[in-house]
Structure 1
């Protein structure tokens, strides 16, 4: 089973909470146990899990900024956004989240996060569900 999520980001760098949208896909599929796989098909955005709220998204983006130094990139196409390609590669384009009792098996403060690094843009996230009997 596969679904596409389309997300319109609104800033150059931002974190978008996808948790409710992904949980809705799991619920509508009536999947009780299995695996939810997500993949963002862009080279300047990533997926991860983390805490959302009380400024943690801004903290996260600041940490990402500090992890990847601003160097003289050799990116021939457009060096102005080469940094966002590097950051997205380090964050990664995919997640695999267990589904248990019909819910994403996330921790108490854990959310599914789309990390926009070169927006605003329209982003597409592929969501594939693998019920336990298929694994």
Structure 2
């Protein structure tokens, strides 16, 4: 039984295990096994947290941005909603950062995604292409 983001204490988990056993549930795992599994899963798939010491001596923690992005990208429900290419909006009604001129005009092409979609056709930047005149 893996309970991500569990707010239960060890004592509460022990109570759950006891209740399951009292009610005749077979093969109930121990709290230690649950904790060990959780620890292994966190090492394999969790988000690393880094401890830092502030300039004034205070301690603070920061989650790994790379791990957060990795988890978001690997989640199919989230990944389909992420958009990486700038969008040229002819109107002034913009609702997302990717629709602003800064993404479209100010960021160098090699820092953006490798493709531009224009009128439903995909064009890859820095990829050789043949012009109508026959030039490459």
Q: TM-score range by the shorter chain?
A: under 0.3
Give the TM-score normalised by the residue count of structure 1: 0.22
Q: Which has the higher contact order (CA 8 A, sep 6+)?
A: 1
Superposition TM-score, scaled by structure 2 size: 0.22
Which structure's residues are more often strand, by fraction? 1
- Structure 1 or 2, whichever has the larger Rg, is 2
